[in-house]
Structure 1
Amino acid sequence: MSTTAPAGTGPATEKIAVITGAGRGLGRSTAEHLLARGTRVIGTYRSDEAAARSLVEAHGADRVEVLRLDTARTAEYPAFVDAVRAAAARFGRDRVDHLVNNAGTALHASFAETTEEQFDEVLAVHLRAPYFLTQAMLPVLADGGRVLNVSSGLAHFVVPGSSAYAVMKAGVEVMSRYQAVELGERRIRVNTVVPGAIATDFSGGMVRDDPGVNAAVAASIPLGRVGRPEDVGGAVALLLDDAFGWANGATVELTGGQRL
């Protein structure tokens, strides 16, 4: 399924967005939509370098830089921030304008069977990473910039086997509100998007590739289909736009009305 945004959807700008997990899925769609609106992108990948590099090949090294980062390893953050600063300088800037905390992994385990190791793994990726990566990025994030954190519909409705993941995503929403207040002095807006079930390769492509799961999820959505990457990527690009500058500390559900 294509995640490419339509061309010419906005005026060119010189803004720069850092997107974690930009090679695939929601991160890729967000990158495509921002690029179509004239924003340069610094994207990260953890293991799939080819997917990330294809973003550069599609849009050019003058518009896109990709950097390896394991968001679960906070020890990598100082070097990453230096690399972001260097990439921004190549784009003619000394700051970036947006940080999209998107990178994530899945966990399916019942509450009774979730291990401490599994809990710590999702904690590191889904809560500790956006907390401390945003903190580390503050020196290179422009005043008046935007932080966009990605939560999940699973923090709002219950699907058995998702408790640890959902706990972290609920924490992301609380974190975003605190960030919005405490970074307000620098006019940095912080918001959260809450995707529902989206047809990507996340969680082994379960929603996208399993017809039974796809049909069951679609039946829970008033619009009659599962979400597509562009449903989220396009919305994120809009939320980062100056026209949404009065949105701060907001939690925006992008679920198609799932489980209303």
Structure 2
Amino acid sequence: MSAAFIRDGGAPNLEVHHRRETLMSTRPLALITGGSRGLGRATALALASQGVDVVITYRTGLKEADAVVAVAREHGAAALALELDVSDPDAIAAFAEALPHALRESCGRDRLDHLVNNAGHGTVTPMGQTDADTIDHLYAVHFRGPYLLTQALEPMLVDGGAIINLSSGLARFAVPGQAAYGALKAGVDHLTWYWAKELGPRGIRVNSVAPGPVATDFGGGRNRDNEQQRQFLAAQTALGRVGEPEDIGPLIATLLTGATGWVTGQRIEASGGIFL
């Protein structure tokens, strides 16, 4: 299932290609941003394998998004892929307005149980070599985007639902060239605490998950493809290797669906014990 924004006389809509569900679904439903690859993909598939229907968003890579949807369906989940650029406030507003109809048509319901703010990108920002546009875009993707999207979708979250914000080990330990990204992820951790307090009266839990180095295409794939980098990181990690997406996705799924109902407002680092 895939969808894309279309413009008709300036009005944003979602054109959805799907199999219509005839009955209202009673399965939980999760939305994962940036779900076409890496940690988002692993999270979506872990949730689908645990009986959760999934909606993933993608900015580019429709083919990869459709592949995730296909595998999620093999697990018996209803699944949908929707285009969204979380750095664009107008796109977020249009997405939130159109989402309930898309969910009814594809998943048989119009409320969300879970939201995973995962979409992101890595950019090196060395002192003395970083311009304002680079910092602004990192902010738009990693802080403003999750803030505005969560704010827009919060009325669609069921009481007793859950939100996971993706943080980073770089919010704890300093690596030269990662100041802007690490500082923004530290901001995501603090935002998580505030939201846990604000949404607690509705029984909505909010936690952040902070991966360490993971072998994905994030940041140009250096933790996946650069053997020298991998060896260095493995030597600094208690468990002796670089992480894999499958180390993170099931953890997020467990925090959303497992016996963790008394856990909220927490930063949970999944780094294999790097830089202890």
TM-score (norm 2): 0.87
Bigger Cα Rg: 2
Q: Deviations over 1:230-252 (max 9, x none)?
A: 11001000000151111010110
Identity over aligned residues, as a percent? 46
SS of structure 1 residue aligned to 2:135: helix
1:27 and 2:37 are equivalent in the alignment:
no
- Conserved 8 A contact 2:171-2:185: yes
1:160 and 2:173 are equivalent in the alignment:
no
How many Å separate the matches in 1 of 2:98 and 2:253?
Answer: 24
1:194 to 207, 210, 228: 210
Matched residue count: 249
2:200 to 169, 184, 191: 184
2:53 to 9, 30, 40: 40
- Conserved 8 A contact 1:81-1:140: no
How many Å separate the matches in 1 of 2:213 and 2:78?
Answer: 30
The residue aligned with 2:91 is 76
Q: Deviations over 1:63-86 (max 9, x none)?
A: 110000000001112221233212
Structure 1: stretches of 5+ with no match in the other structure: 1-11
The residue aligned with 1:254 is 270
How many Å separate the matches in 1 of 2:77 and 2:206?
Answer: 28
1:109 and 2:125 are equivalent in the alignment:
yes
1:222 to 215, 238, 251: 238
The residue aligned with 1:93 is 109
Hey, which bits of structure 1, 4+ residues long, moved more than 6 A? none
How many Å separate the matches in 2 of 1:59 and 1:257?
Answer: 31
SS of structure 1 residue aligned to 2:259: helix
- Conserved 8 A contact 1:13-1:37: no
TM-score (norm 1): 0.93
- Conserved 8 A contact 1:88-1:96: no
* Alpha-carbon shift at residue 112 of structure 1 (Å): 2.1
- Conserved 8 A contact 1:17-1:98: yes
- Conserved 8 A contact 1:16-1:98: yes
**1:118-157 alignment runs, 5 A limit:** 118-157=134-173
* Alpha-carbon shift at residue 57 of structure 1 (Å): 2.2
One-letter identity of the residue aligned with 1:176: T
How many Å separate the matches in 2 of 1:59 and 1:252?
Answer: 26
How many Å separate the matches in 1 of 2:228 and 2:29?
Answer: 40
1:204 and 2:217 are equivalent in the alignment:
no
- Conserved 8 A contact 2:44-2:72: no
Structure in which a larger fraction of residues adopt strand? 2
CA RMSD of aligned residues (A): 1.5
- Conserved 8 A contact 1:42-1:87: no
